[in-house]
Structures are given as structure tokens and as C-alpha cells.
Amino acid sequence: MKGKTLVISGGTRGIGKAIVYEFAKNGVNIAFTYNSNEEKAKEIKEDLEKTYKIKARCYPLNILEPQEYKELFKRIDEDFPTIDFFISNAIISGRAVVGGYGKFMKLRPKGLCNIYTATVTAFVIGAQEAAKRMEKNGGGVILSISSTGNLVYIENYAGHGTNKAAVETMVKYAAQELGEKNIRVNAVSGGPIETDALKAFTNYEEVKAETIKRSPLNRMGQPEDIAGACLFLCSDKASWITGQTLIVDGGTSFR
């Protein structure tokens, strides 16, 4: 994988940051996006280049305006000769999910639409732009980060869970249609992972305790657990895997 290029949305914290560092360790050049913390993004970019001797660049992206991907990829084209991997990872939180994060009877159209835009529409447009470049390069791998919240009940998660189910289905359609271009498309579905996003849940401590209780491994998932799965799916070791969702949940969804 050395010398290839990863494009990932949301690379400054949590799962995205773990993925960025996992790929950089393996010699992959990194193009990652950030929402608002430019200073943090630049710190990560400089650390990646210094520590792993790879090329790294960071770019602003508002995931609620997925059409921005078109200009973003033009900028990436100027910085990198090829795009080999694309991971749709960025999520939204805070005011943007009001009406989308809550009990079923409190769900409202705006919040639900925002979650769909950030989860499904952003995946589609980002993947389309990546696929155009990958086809010229002879192929590539596209991933979406999903969640087992579409398989098991998580309090207040209906808006997110249903959209994760939607993006996993979109992955299957993309895989069927892009396979002839030697582009594989998969999803990585994580159980509760210990990130700032999860800690923002109003019932975080309850979720953490229940996750540890449910997992036969007796621990919470870490961002590095998802990063390792992404690295595998992008590698030649997974060359006959496409249209699938790899569940990384410490065994919690079986109980």
C-alpha cells in the first residue's frame, strides 16, 4: 500500500483520526478533511509527514454541503497524482441533529434530513468523485463507516440507525455497479466506540456499561479497532470482498 493515497472525510478526531494514522503507518499518503478546527488539522498533517515520511494534506469540508466534494477533489487532484482509497467517515453532531437524535415521537424532518445528507448523500457524492479518479487509475476501494445501531436498539438513535441502514444498502448498489471498474465498495459497521461523539450521548455511561457487559471481550471498542478493519478491506488481502458490511462490535450484537 506504500505510496498510494487515501482520501477520508473527518480526519481530526475519533475514528477518522485513528484511520489516518493507521494508513500513514503503512506508507499511505493522506488527504483528510476537517470541519472547523484548522489548527488541529494542520498539527496532524505536520505530525504525519514528520513521523511517517508520507505526504499529507488537510482540507475544509462541510459535510452538510456535500456538493463541496466536487471542488474538494479538484484541489486534491492538484496535490496527489492518484486516489486509491476513499473513506466516508465524517458525521454531524450538536444543533445539526436536533430533531434527528431523540425518541421516535420527537423526531423532526430537519434533523432527519441533516443526518441523511451527512450519512447517505455525502457518501454518494464523495464516492462518485473518488470513483471517477479510481477508474482512470485502474481501480480502488471505497468504504463507508456505519454503525450497529441499525441492528440493535440504541436509545435516541433511531435517526442515525435508519440512515446507517440506508448507507449500507447504498454500498451494495455501488459495489454492483462499480465492480466492472475494479472498484470495491464496502462498509465497516462499528459497535459503540469510545469517541468524543459517543461521549456526547446523554446516556453515554449507560451505553458504555452495557457494551462492556454485552461483549465477551469485556471492553469498549476503540477507534483503532475500526481503523484496522478499514486497512484490511483496502488491502489486497480483501481483493474478493465487495458489497459487504464488516461488523466490528466485540460480539455485542449477538446478545
Residue with cell 420527537: 106
Beta strands in 35-160 (DSSP E): 56-60, 85-88, 140-147
Structural domain tally of the chain? Answer: 1
Residue with cell 489516518: 20
Residues present in the chain in total: 255
* CATH classification of the domain holding 32: 3.40.50.720
Catalytic residue chosen out of the listed positions 70, 157, 173, 237: 157
Task: Give residue 77's domain range.
Answer: 5-254
pTM as predicted: 0.95
Catalytic residue chosen out of the listed positions 132, 164, 172, 173: 164
Dmax (CA) for the chain in angstroms is 51
Beta bridge partners of 183: 140
Rounded Cα distance, 207 and 210, in Å: 5
What's at 59, amino acid-wise?
A: Y
Q: How far is CA 194 from CA 13, 101, 110, 197, 221, in A?
A: 11, 18, 27, 8, 6
**pLDDT for 238:** 98
Rounded Cα distance, 188 and 248, in Å: 7
Q: Are 137 and 84 in contact (CB under 8 A)?
A: yes
Written as tens digits, the pLDDT of the chain (255 aa) is 999 999 999 999 999 999 999 999 999 999 999 998 999 999 999 999 999 999 999 999 999 999 999 999 999 999 999 999 999 999 888 888 899 999 999 999 999 999 999 999 999 999 999 999 999 999 999 999 999 999 999 888 999 999 999 999 999 999 999 999 999 999 999 988 888 777 766 677 888 888 899 899 999 999 999 999 999 999 999 999 999 999 999 999 886
Q: Please calculate the CA angle 38-42-44 and round it to the nearest 5 degrees.
A: 120
101 part of the active site: no
Residue from 27, 19, 95 nearest 64 by CA:
95
Cα first-last separation, the chain: 37
Q: How far is CA 43 from CA 22, 105, 163, 186, in A?
A: 17, 43, 32, 30
157 part of the active site: yes
**pLDDT for 146:** 97
The helix (H) or strand (E) run that includes residue 64 is: none
Q: Are 145 and 190 in contact (CB under 8 A)?
A: yes
**pLDDT for 63:** 96
**pLDDT for 196:** 77
Using N-to-C axis directions, what is the helix angle for 223-234 and 14-25, rounded to 10°?
Answer: 50
